[in-house]
């Protein structure tokens, strides 16, 4: 593939710079600049982003900033916020930012202002949440709702589930929550043992209202409710979808269908009606704070120059590691039990967005794109995979996340923070030892993101930083971060295979491995019968 001449020239300069500097040790960079820690730190509201422990210099950043400008990052950001159809393969805008816009803003899609629609839907969510919380929304036996179950998958599950779990301390006292996404019937059985059907609300979250896993789980639970006597499904099921007809056909009343729009992608949708479980769990005022935190980052991202723009800087460092250091994975380690689901959420956000091998013009890419994203909470992870991070052969950049303060035992929190800071320091500086088994090479890069404490607003800001970081990565790699065609083939084949599993006739058109697996399934289940 051919790159514009200016990008080719900057990439050449970066390559020359890499050859000259990649063996520089981080420890030496800190020795040469006693103020490096402050010089390579940015603050946004209550967030502090320390990227000083990365293998970069002012020259590195200068070249990367030039590359960002040549990649038209600033122009693309303006286009996204203006509602341009930057999701070119699906001919749609990508306006998750509009979901947290203020009512005073004006954003148009197809010459129609959408901010009013967003706030109208938010008002509907608020009204519904209040009815559940004040116990005026009741089940078929006139008992108040004390439990909700979110039925979704992917973006309709991971984001809301992560936020609800992270903000457990803000949870409404009288309302339990469950999330089911796996089509394994065991999840249904376990759920049924844990809930009272008379007091349970089910939220069916599917943009198309055709998602096989979601609709299978929803129909099974609907049938279960009807068998035990529920004569008014509309009191127990609500929907989040843009397929209003299908939701109504399922038995959900129009007033309890909350709308999604084509210009919102699933993994960017927790700010929308997909966030109904969040609002139910933490209350609408706290949900608004979540939106406010994200909006604050939107303002920073859309108005701050490249050189001071936090999501852009982080994305450029990602590009530096992926395309010059051949980093094939990136670890995310929150030293905060509240963020235990955050690595899973980020795995979808990054890899579904940027796990692509064709550019915006449909041409095959001859360079690396998204590394594999993984991680777990500290300090547990220190005693599992940190051996590899310290002394293994793989180059693995790391994001550490840690709250500066947290309610509870101060001794515990001080030890937690100390472990986080110590790991980033040890990975950076290493330790010499004549015994090779005890030698730590160091020079392992990391970014540390600190926050005053985990509030709804802080979490909103944190998520938005990662969303925008994802978008900028896509711009640097010249790919569309907002489609996900790679998940469709498996879905299509699963339908065909499912038909074969239930059919006594021999399958047709299957490869020998898949056919053998199908035969084993049929044999096993015929024996059981």
Query: pLDDT (tens digit, 9 = 90+) per residue, 55-92?
Result: 999 999 999 999 999 999 999 999 999 999 999 999 99
Within a domain: residue 126?
Answer: no
Q: Is 198 in the active site? A: no
Q: What is the pLDDT of residue 525?
A: 86
Q: Is the pLDDT of residue 443 over 90?
A: yes
Q: 441 and 505: one domain? A: no
- Cβ contacts of 127 within 8 Å, gap of 6 or more: none
The residue range of the domain holding 368 is 5-69+305-313+320-456
Q: 55 and 10: one domain? A: yes
Q: 112-113 and 108-109 as β-strands: parallel, antiparallel, unpaired?
A: antiparallel
**Burial grade of 419 (CB within 10 A; 0-12, 13-18, 19 or more):** middle
Q: Is 522 in the active site? A: no
Within a domain: residue 189?
Answer: yes
**Burial grade of 136 (CB within 10 A; 0-12, 13-18, 19 or more):** exposed
Rounded to whole angstroms, the Cα distance separating 267 from 99 reads: 13
Where residue 372 falls (left for φ over 0; alpha for ψ -120 to 50; beta otherwise) is beta
Q: What is the pLDDT of residue 43?
A: 95
Task: Judge whether 395 and 22 are in contact, CB under 8 Å.
Answer: no
Query: pLDDT (tens digit, 9 = 90+) per residue, 231-253?
Result: 999 999 999 999 999 999 999 99
Rounded to whole angstroms, the Cα distance separating 238 from 223 reads: 15
What Rg do the C-alpha atoms of the chain give, in angstroms? Answer: 25
Q: Is 491 in the active site? A: yes
Q: To the nearest whole number, what is the mean pLDDT of the chain?
A: 94
Nearest to 4 by CA among 70, 61, 49: 70
Q: CATH no. for residue 278?
A: 3.40.50.10490
Q: 264 and 189: one domain? A: yes
Q: What is the pLDDT of residue 501?
A: 85
Rounded to whole angstroms, the Cα distance separating 128 from 259 reads: 13
Q: CATH no. for residue 497?
A: 1.10.1390
Number of domains within the chain: 3
Q: 191 and 280: one domain? A: yes
Rounded to whole angstroms, the Cα distance separating 354 from 471 reads: 9
Q: What is the pLDDT of residue 491?
A: 81
Q: Is the pLDDT of residue 206 over 80?
A: yes
Distances (CA, A) of 484 to 89, 353, 356, 488: 10, 7, 9, 8
Cα four-point dihedral sign 385, 334, 317, 352 = positive
For residue 256, the surrounding DSSP H or E stretch is none
Within a domain: residue 26?
Answer: yes
Task: Judge whether 390 and 440 are in contact, CB under 8 Å.
Answer: yes
Q: Which of these is catalytic: 352, 406, 457, 468?
A: 352
Q: What is the pLDDT of residue 523?
A: 86
Distances (CA, A) of 329 to 339, 370, 402, 426: 20, 8, 21, 20
Across the range 445-470, mean pLDDT stands at 98
The CA-CA-CA angle for residues 42, 48, 54, to 5°, reads 65
Rounded to whole angstroms, the Cα distance separating 445 from 441 reads: 12
Query: pLDDT (tens digit, 9 = 90+) per residue, 293-324?
Result: 999 999 999 999 999 999 999 999 999 999 99
Across the range 107-117, mean pLDDT stands at 92
Task: Judge whether 237 and 250 are in contact, CB under 8 Å.
Answer: yes
* DSSP-assigned letter for residue 451: E
Cα four-point dihedral sign 247, 252, 254, 259 = negative
Give the per-residue SS3 of 241-266: ECCHHHHHHHCCCHHHEEECCCCCCH
Q: 425 and 512: one domain? A: no
What's the full length of the chain, in residues?
529
Taking every pair of Cα atoms in the chain, the longest distance, rounded to a whole number of angstroms, is 76
Q: Which of these is catalytic: 35, 193, 227, 383?
A: 383
For residue 59, the surrounding DSSP H or E stretch is helix 58-70
Q: Is the pLDDT of residue 273 over 80?
A: yes
Query: pLDDT (tens digit, 9 = 90+) per residue, 363-387?
Result: 999 999 999 999 999 988 999 999 9
Q: What is the pLDDT of residue 177?
A: 97
Q: Which two tokens stand for residue 326?
A: 């051949």
Q: What is the pLDDT of residue 1?
A: 61
Q: Within 13 Å of residue 110, how many CA atoms lie on the same side as its CB?
A: 5
Q: Quick check: bond before 17 cis, omega within 30?
A: no
**Burial grade of 204 (CB within 10 A; 0-12, 13-18, 19 or more):** buried
Q: 338 and 234: one domain? A: no
Within a domain: residue 379?
Answer: yes
Q: 144 and 278: one domain? A: yes
Give SS3 for 305.
coil
Q: Is the pLDDT of residue 529 over 90?
A: no
355-359, 419-423, 482-486: least confidently modelled range:
482-486
Q: What is the pLDDT of residue 160?
A: 98
Rounded to whole angstroms, the Cα distance separating 352 from 486 reads: 8
Give SS3 for 215.
helix
- What are the E-state strand segments in 335-445? 372-375, 398-403
CB atoms inside a 10 Å sphere around CB 36: 16
Q: 143 and 283: one domain? A: yes
Q: 366 and 504: one domain? A: no
Within a domain: residue 107?
Answer: no
Q: 448 and 494: one domain? A: no
Within a domain: residue 117?
Answer: no
Q: Is the pLDDT of residue 126 over 90?
A: yes
What is the value of pTM for the model shown?
Answer: 0.95
Q: 47-50 and 41-44 as β-strands: parallel, antiparallel, unpaired?
A: antiparallel
Task: Judge whether 203 and 161 are in contact, CB under 8 Å.
Answer: no
What is the secondary structure of 340-383 as a DSSP string?
TTHHHHHHHHHHHHH--SB-TTSPBP-S--PPEEEE--TTGGGG
Q: What is the pLDDT of residue 498?
A: 86
Query: pLDDT (tens digit, 9 = 90+) per residue, 137-193?
Result: 999 999 999 999 999 999 999 999 999 999 999 999 889 999 999 999 999 999 999
Q: Please, which pLDDT band fits residue 504 given cuts at 50, 70 and 90? A: low
Q: Please, which pLDDT band fits residue 485 given cuts at 50, 70 and 90? A: confident
Across the range 256-276, mean pLDDT stands at 95
Within a domain: residue 97?
Answer: no
Q: 309 and 278: one domain? A: no
Q: 277 and 309: one domain? A: no
Phi/psi of residue 253, nearest 5 degrees: -70, 150
Within a domain: residue 343?
Answer: yes
Q: Which of these is catalytic: 22, 407, 410, 491?
A: 491
Rounded to whole angstroms, the Cα distance separating 427 from 440 reads: 8
């Amino acid at each position: 593939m051919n790159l514009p001449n200016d990008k080719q020239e900057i990439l050449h300069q970066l390559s020359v710079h890499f050859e000259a500097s990649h063996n520089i040790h981080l420890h030496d960079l800190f020795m040469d600049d006693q103020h490096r820690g402050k010089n390579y730190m940015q603050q946004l509201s209550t967030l502090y982003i320390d990227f000083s422990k990365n293998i970069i210099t002012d020259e590195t950043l200068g070249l990367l900033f030039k590359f960002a400008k040549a990649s038209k990052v600033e122009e693309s950001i303006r286009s996204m916020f203006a509602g341009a159809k930057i999701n070119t393969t699906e001919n749609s805008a990508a306006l998750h930012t509009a979901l947290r816009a203020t009512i005073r803003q004006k954003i148009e899609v197809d010459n129609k202002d959408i901010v009013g629609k967003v706030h109208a839907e938010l008002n509907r969510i608020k009204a519904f949440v209040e009815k559940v919380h004040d116990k005026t929304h009741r089940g078929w036996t006139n008992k108040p709702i004390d439990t909700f179950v979110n039925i979704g998958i992917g973006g309709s599950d991971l984001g809301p589930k992560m936020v609800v779990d992270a903000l457990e301390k803000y949870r409404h006292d009288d309302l339990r929550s469950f999330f089911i996404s796996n089509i394994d019937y065991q999840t249904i059985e376990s759920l049924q043992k844990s809930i009272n059907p008379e007091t349970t609300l089910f939220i069916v979250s599917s943009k198309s209202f055709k998602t096989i896993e979601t609709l299978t789980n929803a129909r099974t639970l609907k049938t279960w409710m009807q068998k035990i006597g529920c004569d008014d499904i509309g009191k127990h099921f609500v929907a989040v979808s843009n397929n209003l007809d299908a939701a109504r056909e399922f038995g959900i009343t129009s007033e309890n269908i909350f709308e999604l729009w084509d210009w919102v992608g699933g993994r960017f949708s927790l700010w929308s009606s997909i966030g109904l479980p969040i609002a139910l769990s933490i209350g609408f005022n706290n949900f608004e704070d979540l939106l406010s935190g994200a909006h604050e980052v939107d303002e920073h991202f859309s108005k701050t120059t490249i050189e001071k723009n936090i999501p852009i800087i982080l994305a450029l460092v990602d590009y530096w590691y992926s395309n010059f250091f051949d980093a094939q994975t990136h670890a995310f380690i929150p030293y905060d039990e509240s963020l235990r689901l955050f690595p899973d959420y980020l795995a979808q956000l990054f890899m579904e967005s940027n796990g692509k091998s064709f550019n915006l013009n449909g041409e095959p890419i001859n360079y690396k794109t998204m590394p594999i994203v993984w991680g777990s909470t500290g300090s547990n992870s220190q005693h599992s995979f940190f051996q590899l991070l310290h002394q293994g052969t793989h180059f693995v950049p790391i994001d550490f996340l840690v709250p500066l303060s947290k309610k509870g035992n101060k001794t515990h929190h001080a030890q937690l923070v100390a472990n986080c800071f110590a790991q980033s320091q040890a990975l950076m500086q290493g330790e010499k030892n004549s015994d090779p088994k005890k030698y730590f090479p160091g020079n392992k890069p990391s970014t540390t993101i600190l926050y005053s404490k985990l509030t709804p607003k802080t979490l909103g800001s944190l998520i938005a930083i990662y969303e925008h970081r994802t978008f900028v990565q896509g711009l640097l790699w010249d790919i569309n971060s907002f489609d996900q065609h790679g998940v469709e083939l498996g879905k299509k084949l699963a339908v065909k295979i499912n038909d074969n599993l239930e059919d006594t006739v021999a399958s047709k058109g299957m490869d020998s491995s898949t056919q053998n697996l199908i035969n084993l399934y049929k044999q096993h289940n015929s024996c059981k019968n």
